[in-house]
Amino acid sequence: MSKLIIEQLSIRTRTSDGLYGVDIPFQDGLNVIHAENTHGKSTCMQSIIFALGLEGSLGPSRKVPLKTALTSQLRTSNGSMAQIIESKIYLQLHNGVNRITIFRSSIEEKAKLVSVFNSSTIEQVLSNRSSASKDYFLRDEGSATRERGFHHFLTGFMNISLPEVMKFNGSECPLYLEAIFSINYVEQTRGWGGILNILPTYLGIKDLSTRIIEHTLGLEVQEYAQKKQALNQKKKDAERKWAIALDNLISIAGSSKGFVSNELDEKIVKNTVVSEKSYLYLLVNDEKSSFQDRINYLKSELELISSRVNSSQVNTEKVNELETQLSKYSNLLSEQEKAISILVSDLDTSENYIDSIELRIHDVKDSLRRYKDLVRLESIGSEEEFRFDFNSCPTCHSDIDDSLLSQAKNNQTKVLGLEDNIKYLEKQKEAFDALLLGEIKNTSLKQARLTEGKSKLAETRTLIRAIKDSLIDSPRAPSRVDIKKELIIESEIDKLETAMNDEHKLKEKLTSALVEWKLASSGLNAIPHSGLSQNDWKKLKALKTSFINNLEQFGYSSNSLSDFEISQTSYKPTLNEIDINAEASASDNIRVIWSYLYSVLTLDHTTKLSTNHLGLLIMDEPRQQEAKNESFTNFISKAANVKDMGKQIIIGTSEKYTDLLEALVGKDTNLQHFESDIIKKLS
């Protein structure tokens, strides 16, 4: 079903010699405007483009794109020239439901506006019997998006939507009508250079021709690409969420001197899980113990102490006991002090090591910089005027190494080439970087252990002080050591329990991140690898078949037809995987364009799958004497078939009239034949 049918073009030109003009009616199916060269065919074709405000399809120029015959002067019937005051272009359009007439003036100042007469024919407009018109603006920014923009109106009228596409500068914009229309109109001169030869590249849209064909064929691949992008973004978000939660968990573990077990994955991977059990551990006497085990142990310890504190019995053994404890803790203290001093010197070594690695990385970087200079120098040195060859002696021309060192030439002293040496240095840098990363991690671990050791040392000192105080206390009083211990244990339990509560909350976040990630991941897996849906495959396959069939009928002979493919990336025909533009002879090139554009136009009919084609094809001089007459006859008869599909083809040609008539015999076509100038004086 056609989205846009042109029903009539009318031109009214006010000149110094009176009113000139023409009315050309069009119908469904094939329309042929026939006239000799210079009689105004192309003027009529371009008027259609102009009225639709689509001159941007041909280039970025902001000038009125009409031929001089409609803007400055016109040849009158007696051969003299008449000055033009204003040309008015009317176009009557139908979208299958509604009929409108649009009008645009050739005068520069008025050309920015297009007037739209709803449900009116040109005849009604010209005789002032139409409904009131509404003006829409053109060519200013927003013509495609703002409500009073003509192209916004036109897309609405044709009931299509413009897909968002990527620009070279990274922003997004709609695939403008100017771009979409490139596949509906082949201009007389440059248009026959290749498929989609004239493109509004000035719009700055990335992969423009691919996007246009993709949209026209209604491929789902773009949708898939967007979906893929969104899912990847979701996955990344989930990964970030995971990383943040994990970081928080690590800092919680750190604040209670523990660590996060490596059972919890650092990054989400396929089989990552968040289990019910706690991932928080700490080292007790160099053994890994979970927070929960530690809490249980501390609680039993606490019970023991409080039972001792609460017992009113006078402990006669108390002094002895205290003294043993004192000596035990004094030993512990000296051990801890020793351990800390070892840790400190160890840390010092690590820090020195890091410095030395950093120095090496700095040196390697400098060498790399110098090597890059060398590559550049070598390219300057190889220029015509210098031509250095560092592998042969400038004086005696015997072979030497590219080195200032010993020139003994043997395999042992062979020197790496520049590129290889750069690769070698880069590998070295990678190795040092990895080493540095590992050492930094190591050092921070050591630092954590040092802080932990120091706090334990302080704890021991407090206990020793308490024991000493208890020794001079009355024997009836509860032991100060016990009370102190009780306090220390209680605060540790408290800390561990808070940490575990926090872990519980963080685990919820981790789980939700994991679920989101897995959802996005399975969504991604469901998207076909090539990005093409089943319908897309069907369409491309049908496009290929129809393209090749048409080529055969139009008499293509430059290459074997079975070598043609439709590219899955550009959707254009390729020959042995290269674009065919340069391959074929001039006449075969025209056959390729006919076949391709015709196949695209009729694809919805061949596949029964809907496409976004406007259902309209305008071709100016589709033969240009290049292709053989019989090919043209075949093309004309094919083109006439589109009437049954509800589509429209408009051709302007200066073919020999008798040949044309012969080609059209028995075909239901609308032939508009002009013996002399198309734009004539109106009575």
Options 362-370, 473-481, 521-529, 642-650: segment touching another protein (CB under 8 A):
362-370
Q: Minimum distance from CB of 355 to another protein (Å)?
A: 15
What is each CA distance from 354 to 350, 359, 437, 441, 445, in whole angstroms? 6, 9, 9, 11, 14
Return the residue of 394, 534, 577, 658 that touches another protein, per CB under 8 A. 394
Which string of b and e fits 4-31 if b means at least 16 CB within 10 Å?
Answer: bbbbbbbbbbbbebeebbbbbebebbbb
Residue (358 or 420) nearer to another protein, CB: 420
**417 binds another protein, rule: CB under 8 A:** yes
Q: Minimum distance from CB of 352 to another protein (Å)?
A: 19
Report the 10 Å Cβ neighbour count for 531.
Answer: 18
What is each CA distance from 265 to 195, 279, 287, 504, in whole angstroms? 53, 11, 22, 17
Residue (190 or 369) nearer to another protein, CB: 369
Asked whether the beta carbons of 670 and 25 are under 8 A apart, the reply is yes
Report the 10 Å Cβ neighbour count for 136.
Answer: 22
Options 333-341, 392-400, 439-447, 532-540: segment touching another protein (CB under 8 A):
392-400
Options 25-33, 72-80, 414-422, 519-527: segment touching another protein (CB under 8 A):
414-422
**366 binds another protein, rule: CB under 8 A:** yes
**97 binds another protein, rule: CB under 8 A:** no
Tokens standing for residue 38: 């210079």
Q: Minimum distance from CB of 162 to another protein (Å)?
A: 44
Tokens standing for residue 465: 């002080």
x/- site string to another protein, residues 372 to 391, per CB under 8 A?
Answer: xxx-xxx-xx-x-xx-x-x-
Q: How many CA atoms lie within 13 A of 56 on its CB side?
A: 21
Strand partners, 653: 34
Return the residue of 132, 269, 273, 405 that touches another protein, per CB under 8 A. 405
Residue (401 or 486) nearer to another protein, CB: 401
Return the residue of 323, 358, 420, 563 that touches another protein, per CB under 8 A. 420
Dist CA 203 CA 17 (whole Å)? 41
Return the residue of 136, 371, 517, 598 that touches another protein, per CB under 8 A. 371
Residue (362 or 673) nearer to another protein, CB: 362
Residue (167 or 376) nearer to another protein, CB: 376
Q: Minimum distance from CB of 367 to another protein (Å)?
A: 5
Residue (374 or 457) nearer to another protein, CB: 374
The residues, any chain, with a CB within 8 Å of residue 26's CB and separated by 6 or more, are 5, 6, 7, 8, 9, 648, 650, 670
Tokens standing for residue 230: 């969104």
**429 binds another protein, rule: CB under 8 A:** no
What is each CA distance from 14 to 18, 291, 465, 682, in whole angstroms? 6, 95, 113, 10
Whole-number CA gyration radius for the chain? 42
Q: How many residues bind another protein (CB under 8 A)?
A: 37
Closest CA to 329 of 467, 198, 207: 467
Residue (128 or 398) nearer to another protein, CB: 398
Tokens standing for residue 459: 């704890």
Return the residue of 424, 522, 560, 661 that touches another protein, per CB under 8 A. 424
Dist CA 589 CA 580 (whole Å)? 8
The amino acid that residue 154 corresponds to is L
**448 binds another protein, rule: CB under 8 A:** no
Options 38-46, 275-283, 369-377, 578-586: segment touching another protein (CB under 8 A):
369-377
Asked whether the beta carbons of 573 and 647 are under 8 A apart, the reply is no
**543 binds another protein, rule: CB under 8 A:** no
Q: 3-state secondary structure string, 592-646?
A: HHHHHHHHHHCHHHHHCCCCCCCCEEEEECCCCCCCCHHHHHHHHHHHHHHHHHC
Return the residue of 129, 338, 414, 441 that touches another protein, per CB under 8 A. 414
**403 binds another protein, rule: CB under 8 A:** yes
Residue (303 or 420) nearer to another protein, CB: 420
Return the residue of 62, 134, 240, 370 that touches another protein, per CB under 8 A. 370
Strand partners, 287: 284
**406 binds another protein, rule: CB under 8 A:** no
At 569, is the secondary structure helix, strand, or coil? Answer: coil
229-248 residues near another protein, rule: CB under 8 A: none
At 143, is the secondary structure helix, strand, or coil? Answer: coil
**365 binds another protein, rule: CB under 8 A:** no
Q: Minimum distance from CB of 425 to another protein (Å)?
A: 7
Return the residue of 78, 285, 313, 411 that touches another protein, per CB under 8 A. 411
Residue (147 or 383) nearer to another protein, CB: 383
Dist CA 20 CA 174 (whole Å)? 39
**413 binds another protein, rule: CB under 8 A:** yes
Q: Which region, left, alpha or beta, applies to residue 619 given φ > 0 means left and ψ of -120 to 50 means alpha? A: beta
**113 binds another protein, rule: CB under 8 A:** no
Dist CA 35 CA 585 (whole Å)? 27
Q: Minimum distance from CB of 366 to another protein (Å)?
A: 7
Residue (425 or 510) nearer to another protein, CB: 425
Q: Minimum distance from CB of 461 to another protein (Å)?
A: 40
CA angle at 251 for the pair 262 and 275, rounded to the nearest 5°: 40
Q: Minimum distance from CB of 398 to another protein (Å)?
A: 12
Return the residue of 167, 288, 338, 369 that touches another protein, per CB under 8 A. 369
**202 binds another protein, rule: CB under 8 A:** no
The helix or strand, by DSSP H or E, that contains position 162, with its residue range, turns out to be none
Residue with tokens 């590992």: 438
Residue (269 or 396) nearer to another protein, CB: 396
At 120, is the secondary structure helix, strand, or coil? Answer: coil
Q: Which residues are near another protein by CB under 8 A? A: 366-367, 369-374, 376-378, 380-381, 383, 385-386, 388, 390, 393-395, 402-405, 411-418, 420-421, 424-425
